[in-house]
Amino acid sequence: MRRIVAAIALTVAAAAVLAAQAIDVSRYRIVDLSHGYGPATLYWPTSTSKFTLTREANGPTPGGYFYASNSVSTPEHGGTHLDAPRHFSEKGRTTEQIPLEQLVAPAVVIDVTKECAADRDYRLTREAVLAFEKSHGAIARGTAILLKTGWSRHWPDAKAYLGDATPGDASKLSFPSYGTDAARLLVEERGVAALGIDTASIDYGRSTDFQVHRIAAAGNVPGFENLTSLDQLPTRGATVIALPMKIEGGSGGPLRAIALVPR
């Protein structure tokens, strides 16, 4: 009897430990931050390829069961995707080398929707980040910054989203993003995990020298581009889980990003 009691006590203790270790998903709202991939997916105007899905099987088999299988082909940089540091740095980490701590991280959402509605070429400034910290507290090391411009409301209208829909021509793009001084502050001084945004690029549309990409890449900070549903996240408290396809030697890749928001 004593042995049975001891065994039960052990089992209860083990169950308690397991319960303490598991993430109770019911305590979170799960928000999908990725656009779907399909014929409407937006790419940089100079991209020579797009996402394609080719049906290889879709129907009954001689064995009497249904079978479906496709092949897919996609540029790394289109739709909701990751920019690996290698994208703009010869020595930067490639997609599969990015530490998971930079892809699973506490999120801070900086809301510049109003500024972007007034100026589609808006760039986040150092002063705006400092003002944000004054209101919402310091940005800790290892935070994933999600810059909310409100731009995903234009998706997938290329003209509205990118500012220009001329195929093969990226010289007339217009959409908001990070500015260089804000990027330097976040990457070099705050040591953020990642820079995310709900527009096509972590550099604004008119950029021709991609300074923000270069600052982020030099600090081995990845970018999350073409995010959506940032309006469903709190300023603080969410955890972002942004896991790209693990492409070996990749400069980026399609990204399924979600956020866990405490209920």
Q: What is the CA radius of gyration of the chain?
A: 22
**CB of 228 vs Zn ion, minimal distance in Å:** 15
What's the rounded Cα separation, in Å, for the pair 127 and 72?
Answer: 43
Residue 225 exposed, middle or buried by CB count within 10 Å (0-12, 13-18, 19+): buried
Q: Which stretch binds Zn ion (CB under 5 A): 26-34, 79-87, 121-129, 180-188?
A: 79-87
Q: Which stretch binds Zn ion (CB under 5 A): 69-77, 109-117, 148-156, 234-242?
A: 69-77
- Would you say 94 or 232 has its CB closer to Zn ion? 94
- Would you say 83 or 181 has its CB closer to Zn ion? 83
Long-range contacts of 5-9 (CB under 8 A, 24+ apart): none
Number of residues that bind Zn ion (CB under 5 A): 2
**CB of 14 vs Zn ion, minimal distance in Å:** 46
**CB of 44 vs Zn ion, minimal distance in Å:** 8
**CB of 26 vs Zn ion, minimal distance in Å:** 35
What's the rounded Cα separation, in Å, for the pair 118 and 256?
Answer: 30
Give the amino acid at 253.
G
Q: Is 77 in the site for Zn ion (CB under 5 A)?
A: yes
Among 174, 219, 212, 218, smallest CA distance to 196 is for: 212
Q: Is 198 in the site for Zn ion (CB under 5 A)?
A: no
Q: Is 83 in the site for Zn ion (CB under 5 A)?
A: yes
Q: Which stretch binds Zn ion (CB under 5 A): 31-39, 77-85, 135-143, 168-176?
A: 77-85
- Would you say 81 or 154 has its CB closer to Zn ion? 81
Tokens of 100: 């998971």
What's the rounded Cα separation, in Å, for the pair 221 and 143?
Answer: 11
- Would you say 80 or 143 has its CB closer to Zn ion? 80
What's the rounded Cα separation, in Å, for the pair 115 and 176?
Answer: 9
- Would you say 83 or 198 has its CB closer to Zn ion? 83
Residue 137 near residue 193 (C-beta atoms within 8 A):
no
Nearest residue to Zn ion by CB is 77
Binding site for Zn ion (CB under 5 A): 77, 83
